[in-house]
A = this chain, B = another copy of it.
Amino acid sequence: MKRDKPKYKQIVDAAVIVIAENGYHQAQVSKIAKEAGVADGTIYLYFKNKEDILISVFREKMGVFVDNVKEILKKEISATEMLARMIENHFSLLNGDRHLAIVTQLELRQSNKELRNRINEVLKEYLTLLDTILKEGIEKGEFDKQIDIRLARQMVFGTIDETITSWVMNDQKYDLMKLAPEVHRLILNGMKA
């Protein structure tokens, strides 16, 4: 499996750095190859084309978000608490990787519709886990039975996303983690029973 080979990860990590430092439109394949310490042609032994690199970046990195939320879901805690942990996890992973934050919040959004559709497929798994939390909260009576799951999901993700993007656009000047409790409170107020 190519994904397990060291050069695969080298190239994915190089892509994150190059995109973050140069911007999406200045992230040429040759720059990524150079950053990864391989020849241009080598990229094509591991990836079908440039788009494939970008999707892989998102899939590899988003995988950590998904794995962490799966761990959270296994815990014996309330949905409210799960939501708090999910927000913290989301904020924490991006707070700890400046390059990745720039790439996911700003640069990858400049990709074309097709690439963004592929990215959304990856995102879907994450949002499905969010739905699981929301449904559990409703079932357990923590959240209002009346709420539309889809809208609630959009509020949760929209609020998280907008908050992080705003932080990135302000050059990550403040500590993102400090905002987590208030974001959680705002969201919870919107849904609680």
**CA of A13 to CA of B71 in the docked complex: distance in angstroms?**
50
Provide the residues of chain B in CB contact with A107, threshold 8 Å.
113
From B112, B120, B157, B160, A25 is in contact (CB under 8 Å) with: B112
User: Knowing A23-B113, A148-B182, A191-B186 touch, does A162 contact B166 (C-beta < 8 A)?
Assistant: no
**CA of A189 to CA of B152 in the docked complex: distance in angstroms?**
12
A175: shortest Cβ distance to chain B, in Å? 14
Interface of A is mostly: helix
**CA of A190 to CA of B190 in the docked complex: distance in angstroms?**
4
Interface residues of A in 157-193 (CB under 8 A from B): 157-163, 166, 169, 179, 182-183, 186-192
From B112, B154, B188, A162 is in contact (CB under 8 Å) with: B154
Q: In the complex, what residue of chain B is closest to A115 when comparing beta carbons?
A: B110
A54: shortest Cβ distance to chain B, in Å? 13
| A116 contacts chain B at the CB level, 8 A cutoff | yes
**CA of A159 to CA of B150 in the docked complex: distance in angstroms?**
11
From B120, B151, B187, A155 is in contact (CB under 8 Å) with: B187
Q: In the complex, what residue of chain B is closest to A106 when comparing beta carbons?
A: B113
**CA of A144 to CA of B192 in the docked complex: distance in angstroms?**
15
Provide the residues of chain B in CB contact with A24, threshold 8 Å.
112
Interface residues of A in 1-41 (CB under 8 A from B): 23-25
A36: shortest Cβ distance to chain B, in Å? 22
| A91-115 Cβ-contact flags toward B at 8 Å (1 or 0) | 0000000000000001101111100
A interface residue numbers (CB < 8 A to B): 23-25, 106-107, 109-113, 116-117, 120, 144, 147-148, 150-152, 154-155, 157-163, 166, 169, 179, 182-183, 186-192
The list of the 10 closest CB pairs from A to B, nearest first, reads: A158-B162, A190-B190, A158-B158, A154-B162, A155-B159, A189-B190, A186-B190, A158-B159, A110-B110, A154-B163
